[in-house]
Structure 1
Amino acid sequence: MGHTDVRAPGASGMRGHAAAFVTRVTTRGRLPLDYSVASLRVVDFLLDGLRKGGADTDRAAETLLGLGAYVGEVLVRRAGARWVDCDERQRDLFGQPVGVRMPDGRVWNPLGKVRNRFESGAPEDSLQTFYLTLHGRARPAPRRTRRAVA
């Protein structure tokens, strides 16, 4: 069986790709993919299910791309990242055409992280752990307290 050619859209198309994937899988499976950090546990669970179901990387390519787009979109919505088209060096390093740039300027590879988690199945490759230990996330704004006016 030949390699399945599933191409990621450019950075400008990733938000739409993630949204279409979420619509497709939540309609069929009623999965709680709500772009929350906690929903990354669901991504880990789905990847484990794909592995246990015997899917190989080629057969799962479209699903892996959708899950990678979803993970990247969680970084965009929750960590202050933005989608970027990778330059030639980053494409060589990541093996992917797009990534996310964090507020501190670092570029991360959510598509590759999803593929690694699928291929390894290792708990240390958890997508939720990836988010929680990710460098360069935007810090939540400090809560302002209201001063009592005397």
Structure 2
Amino acid sequence: MHEQPRRLPKAGQMRSYTAGVVRTLTEQHRLPLDYSVASLHIVDFVVDGLRRDQPEKTQVAETLFGLGAYVGEVIVRRTHAEWVDLRDDEGRLFRQPVGIRMSTGRVWNPLGRVVNRFLVGPEESIHGFFLLVQAPERRSHDTP
């Protein structure tokens, strides 16, 4: 995986796209990607490994997209979120075609967060992103 996927998946295709990414990464690299919150630490580790050789983002764009899809799918499975096709203005803002919408209505960009981890480094924790995303979601579903 070295470049942006030729045809970017739509929201309705993200679950199957992510399953293919997980299959490839677990078979080729023996990564324990099990859709758990703890597995997001593995994503942080993999992105940091990609950064080590300082490639151009375009050289690893497909891998970053796949890892972002995985992060999004973990959030979808662990919270009350769903994949959504972004409106034109959201897509321009996020620089991605899809995102996740929480039951609160808030839209998040897990694909872009993985790119940020690649560009910025450990300050952009993927595991920390999950904690940030799910915190307001958890509060909105708590009963007094």
Structure 1 contact 81–100 (Cα < 8 Å) conserved:
yes
Structure with bigger gyration radius: 1
Specify the alignment match of 2:114 in structure 1: 114
Structure 2 contact 85–99 (Cα < 8 Å) conserved:
yes
Specify the alignment match of 1:48 in structure 2: 48
CA distance in structure 2 between the aligned counterparts of 1:138 and 1:33, rounded to whole angstroms: 24
Unaligned runs of 5+ in 1: 143-150
Residue 138 of structure 1 deviates from its aligned partner by 4.5
Specify the alignment match of 1:125 in structure 2: 124
Q: What letter is aligned with 1:129?
A: G
TM-score by length of 2: 0.88
Residue 137 of structure 1 deviates from its aligned partner by 2.5
Mapping for residues 19-98 of structure 1, pairs under 5 Å: 19-98=19-98
Work out the percentage of aligned pairs sharing the same amino acid: 53
CA distance in structure 2 between the aligned counterparts of 1:8 and 1:68, rounded to whole angstroms: 13
Deviations 1:57-76 (Å, cap 9, x if unpaired)?
A: 11101101100110000010
Count, aligned residues:
137
CA distance in structure 2 between the aligned counterparts of 1:5 and 1:38, rounded to whole angstroms: 27
Unaligned runs of 5+ in 2: none
Specify the alignment match of 1:137 in structure 2: 137
Q: What letter is aligned with 1:132?
A: L
Q: What letter is aligned with 1:68?
A: G
SS for the counterpart of 1:82 is strand
CA distance in structure 2 between the aligned counterparts of 1:28 and 1:116, rounded to whole angstroms: 25
CA distance in structure 1 between the aligned counterparts of 2:8 and 2:136, rounded to whole angstroms: 24
